[in-house]
Structure 1
Amino acid sequence: MDIIFPYATSIAITLVLLFVSSRLVFNPLKGYPGPLLARLTNGYAGWHSIKGDVHLITYLDHLKYGPVVRQAPNRLVFNTLTAVQDIYLNPHVVKARIYANARFRSAPSVFTALDRADHRRRRRVVGQAISERSMREFEPSMISQIDIFLLQLLRCSQRGEAVEMTSRCKWLAMDVIGLLAFGAAWKTQTEDTLRLLPRAFAALNPRVYLFMNWPKTHKIDPGVQWLVRERIEKFRRILAGMIADRMALPRDARHDLFSFVANDERIDQAQQEGIRKSEIWGEAVLTSHLHKGGTTTATAICTVFYYLSRNPAVYAQLALEVRTTFSSGSEIRHGQQLTSCKYLRAVIDESMRMSPPTPGVMWREKDPLSTEPLVVDGHVIPPGTFVGVGLYSLMHNAEYFPEPFVFRPERWLEADAEAPQEKEARATMRRAFVPFILGDRACAGKAVAYLEISLTVAKTMWYFDFLKASGDAGELGSGRKGATGGRGRPDEYQLYDRFMAEHEGPNLMFWPRENYWEELDLLAT
């Protein structure tokens, strides 16, 4: 035993030295700076994905190490506009293979498909249901859910209750996406029955994000699923019931994903292109789970309300624009009047810049079939390396966004007399504003998101005034002065990066504008 122990110790030390050398000395990325733990193991980003602050440590690492940071043994994260173009607009770059860890029942979807041709087929089919043209037809259904949202605000105001906006906005977004994906009225805004659905979807995000940042942890997934098997089965039964109910109706009975994919000749075309009818419902699940009209739209709406409640001058200017553009709440719908609300769009964009609904890194890698070298911002990237840009970091890069932590919607508006350099600076800023990312993998639901956010905010500003709740309740969602790790800004809405952002608050007090609330009361009768 006395002889074996020293040999075992020597072997262990040798193995550790070989491991460390392979990551620090012989790794092709050895010349790139980054935290020591990140250069050694994916556990660095994995741990921060558990904490929900990958976006913040990415930002802080860029401040410390520069525009290119080694965030894992085989990953480089960039913080430049050139890198955005070189990565996300590059035909020789594909989604990183780690996205397979986000698959629902191991089946690819429009979100997780790695093959470019497969993704194009799926996006073309699903895109029909969430295109801008489709949204014009779906708008009455969306407005019906926004009216329910407004009616709930009215009831809370009549009872003198503060409204916790994260819950309210999630229920609104999920009811909208339930109608769009399944043609089903989930009624989470008014009933408890199906509120487990948004909770179930939200519970998937941290697990998936951990697997993406620390791929080896994916091995624990079968055990995790076994522990929560009863909840998973209940979730699947509910979805199966919705699918059965929808399939029992004529194809054009609802304006939803199935009606677009299956209507007339489309289902035959989809089958010919390799998308089976069963897979359509997989896309519906992903549409409701990951689609930007769901969780991320709720985040954007909450973010707008947070910053409006903290910036009285912005609030006053937006209220003036909405209340002078429209003459009634029913006028607020898709069209020229809503499009003319330039300040509304500026407020939305500035909110998403400050607190992007998807704040982390969208990882990509060189297409294995490509013979072209991958060059990102002048750096020749070794094969097998994942590359990406942290969206939160980029949209807080002072080179593109002066005073990046100041909420200033005016930065998006063209002044009456602008010097050429000011116009160029705004154009550069626009190119660096990428909450929906770019290229063929950009969010297909951009039109859905902007329409829902615009309608919800404009209608709320028409019917109500609001301010943050008093006392500690009013600080829910804010950073804490003196806090470390990037959470020390009291006027910044705090996000928890679990691929799609999680958050709390804000808590707001609403009161009706004059007698306009009577229109809402009529909706309840």
Structure 2
Amino acid sequence: MSVILGLVHQVDLPGLVQRVDLPTLAVIIPSVIVIAHVVPWLYDSHGIRLYPGPLLAKFSDLWLGVVSKNGHRSEVIHEIHKKYGPFVRIAPNHVSIADPDALAIVYAHGNGALKSQFYDAFVSIHRGIFNTRDRVEHARKRKIVSHIFSQKSVVEFEPHIRHHLTEFIKQWDRLTASAVKGMSGVEGEGWKGEGGRLWIDCLPWVNYLAFDIIGDLAFGAPFGMIEAGKDIAYIPKNQEGAMESYGKVDTGEAVAIPAVQILNGRGEYSMAMGVLPAWWRPFARLIPWYRRGSADVKTLAGIAIMAVAKRLSTPTDRVDLLSKLKAGRDSNGNPMSKEEVTAEALTLLIAGSDTTSNSTCAIMYHLARNPHIQEKLQKELDEQLGTEDETVATADQVKRLPYLEACINEALRIHSASALGLPRVVPEGGMTVLDQYFPAGTVLSVPSYTIHRDPGVWGEDVETYRPERWFEQDQAAIQKTFNPFSVGPRYAIR
């Protein structure tokens, strides 16, 4: 395939168009495209031709690209696994393995497997630890970043988190009180008062909560979304200038943008772009939908540039994620560059806000849909926290709430923050997974969405929200399979 692509890149396309008439081009171009896809299938350098899967996926990345763009990749992959079994070919060089036992092999730390080109689509400002594919550079970044997520650091962040949770509850209490007083025909972003009742769209509000918490921890100040009750953040008019000044930007030079909306657009774009081969991507960006997504990537980067610039313009002893990033050193004693610090802060915003808000909303949704479960949970909360004066439970108090933990885990099982199979490239020497050998260069993944619905692990009622399964099923099998944020400690940054 690389040889064919090399020849294609050497072709003088403008000159070819000038020399050949349109009817001839209409034959040549489709022929080249067909040959470029059929020859690799016949050659089968990855030895995966016999694995079942959608017909188009065997020849082209287009199938997975379309599926990803439509936003239901995990569900579609799940359905084809139900049709074809645990091994499914979802791209010319990519096999999805829907078996819990594959997790520890494909994603084992130190197995030599590298992140695939999928991660290149998530690069913004500078490569961060999430999208760095070079092993040496990743190890360097990991040394600097990993200590941030130690138990000691997490405990230091708790007061900030509890503060924003308290403000969040106060806002909902205020809206509820207004509704009780007979508010009618009044509405704002994510809420509406009608007939003395309050209707709240939970997703926007938990997005505000997540953005304010992560903004406070990663950038030194919340975005103010909870207080404003709307999706708002600021970016500098001149991003390049803001990065150069590195701390001399104020809101007078900024533009207000809907950050949550931009984040969602950026995520959809990167997920779809990531499955396309590198040589396809420049052409894909010419398509309006991808062009809008590319603009969202740049805009979201502006949020990090603006926030970091503002924070660093005012020195402080405050302990948060940004201060820890700045204080971090690699094995040679060198700190991260300003671009690296900003990129890592942006990664924390993306990874922390989107996953937190979606997971929180999923938990609320399933509890609301199941009043009997909500009642059982309320009983545990009353028994364990009923005499406490705190508005928000502390981390120590939450440790003695097993049914709450089961409710959270069950929601994460059904609606995982990382539901797709993160792609890994098989290293030199190949890899054997469940008695199947894969040569170097093959891309493998294990879809969380599917293994979280494995009847052999979770029971036959896998689509039912039932926290009790966490006390009934084989605990060893559950712990081996459950990976809502991928595998291992702090794996989201690996």
Deviation at 1:172, TM superposition (A): 0.4
1:156 aligns with 2:205: no
- Counterparts in 2 of 1:302 and 1:271: CA distance versus 1, 3 Å: farther
Deviation, structure 1 residue 441: 7.2
Query: Is residue 70 from structure 1 mapped to residue 89 from structure 2 by the alignment?
Result: yes
Q: How does 1:40-55 map to 2 (within 5 A)?
A: 40-55=59-74
8 A contact 2:129–2:493 mirrored in 1: no
Is this contact kept in 2: 1:94–1:365, CA < 8 A? Answer: yes
> Is the partner of 1:275 in helix, strand or coil?
coil
Equivalent position of 2:348 in the other structure: 287
Aligned length: 423
* CA distance in 2: counterparts of 1:17 and 1:229, whole angstroms: 29
Q: Is the 8 A contact 2:265 2:293 kept in 1?
A: no
Cα RMSD after superposing both structures:
2.9
Aligned equivalents of 2:324 and 2:25: distance in 1?
64
Q: Secondary structure at the match of 2:390?
A: helix
Compared CA separation, residues 18 and 279, structure 1 to 2 (3 A): closer
Matched, 1:248 2:304: no
Hey, what's the Cα distance between the residues in 2 that align with 1:75 and 1:232?
A: 26
Q: 2:411 aligns with which of 327, 343, 351?
A: 351
Q: Could you tell me how far apart the structure 1 residues matched to 2:89 and 2:293 are? A: 35
Q: 1:329 to 1:359 in 2, by over 3 A?
A: farther
State the alpha-carbon separation in 1 of the partners of residues 37 and 301 from structure 2: 44
Task: State the AA in 1 paired with 2:404.
Answer: L
Q: Which residue pairs with 1:474 in the alignment?
A: none
Residue equivalent to 2:123? 103
SS in 2 for 1:409: coil
Give unmatched runs, 5+ long, in structure 2. Answer: 1-20, 180-196, 234-256
Distance 2:280 2:168 in 1: 39
Bigger mean CA offset, 94-103 vs 18-27: 18-27
Q: Return closer, same or farther for 1:392/1:201 CA change in 2, 3 Å cut-off.
A: same
Q: What letter is aligned with 1:133?
A: K
* Corresponding residue of 2:398: 338
Contact 1:251–1:262, Cα closer than 8 Å, also in 2 = no
CA distance in 2, matches of 1:115, 1:276: 18
Is contact 2:166–2:392 with CA below 8 Å preserved after alignment?
Answer: no
CA distance in 2, matches of 1:441, 1:233: 27
CA shift, 1:319, in A, is 0.5
Q: What's the CA shift for 1:282? A: 1.3
Query: Is 1:178 aligned to 2:215, yes or no?
Result: yes
Secondary structure of the corresponding residue to residue 204 of structure 1: helix
Q: Map of 1:15-26 to 2, 5 A cutoff?
A: 15=32, 18-19=35-36, 21-26=38-43
Of stretches 62-71 and 378-387 in structure 1, the one that deviates more from structure 2 is 378-387
CA distance in 2, matches of 1:37, 1:214: 14
AA aligned to 2:173 is L
Distance (Å, rounded) in 1 between the aligned partners of 2:315 and 2:31? 68
What runs of 5+ residues in structure 1 fail to find an aligned partner? 415-421, 446-525
Equivalence for 1:260: 324
Residue 428 (structure 1) aligned with residue 492 (structure 2):
no
Query: Per the alignment, do residues 93 and 348 of structure 1 end up closer, same or farther by CA in structure 2, a change over 3 Å counting?
Result: same
1:204 Cα offset (Å)? 0.8
Report whether the alignment pairs 1:383 with 2:420.
Answer: no
Aligned with 1:343: secondary structure?
helix
Cα deviation code 1:448-491 (max 9, x no counterpart): xxxxxxxxxxxxxxxxxxxxxxxxxxxxxxxxxxxxxxxxxxxx
Give the % identical residues. 24
State whether structure 2 residue 365 is matched by structure 1 residue 306.
yes
Partner of 1:498: none
| Greater CA drift, 234-243 or 403-412 | 234-243
For 2:225, what is the secondary structure of its paired residue?
coil
CA distance in 2, matches of 1:228, 1:351: 29
CA spacing shift, 1:329–1:198, aligned 2, 3 Å: farther
Counting only pairs closer than 5 Å after superposition, residues 476-495 of structure 1 correspond to structure 2 as: none
How far has the Cα of 1:239 moved from its partner?
Answer: 3.7
Aligned-partner Cα distance in 2 for 1:401–1:318:
21
Supply the distance in 1 between the matched residues of 2:26 and 2:200 (Cα, whole angstroms).
60
Partner residue in 1 for 2:336: 275
Maintained 8 Å contact 1:271/1:277: no
Measure, in 2, the Cα distance between the counterparts of 1:413 and 1:145.
32
- Distance change (3 Å), C-alpha of 1:206 and 1:232: closer
Aligned counterparts of 1:113 and 1:282: Cα–Cα separation in 2 = 11
Give 1:173 shift.
0.4
* Secondary structure class of the residue paired with 2:492: coil
Q: How do 1:67-146 and structure 2 match up within 5 A?
A: 67-89=86-108, 91-105=111-125, 107-146=126-165
Preserved contact between residue 301 and residue 346 of structure 2 (Cα < 8 Å): no
1:36 aligns with 2:85: no
- Summarize the Cα distance change of 1:132–1:11 in structure 2 as closer, same or farther, 3 Å threshold: same
Q: TM-score, normalised by structure 1?
A: 0.74
Distance change in 2, residues 1:87/1:231 (3 Å): closer
Query: In structure 2, what is the Cα distance between the partners aligned to 1:229 and 1:43?
Result: 19
Bigger relative CO (Cα 8 Å, ≥ 6 apart): 1
1:437 equivalent in alignment to 2:483: no
The CA deviation at 1:241 is 3.5
2:445 counterpart SS class: strand
Residue type of the partner of 1:406? T
Corresponding residue to 1:393 among 441, 450, 455: 450
Q: 2:202 aligns with which of 156, 160, 165?
A: 165
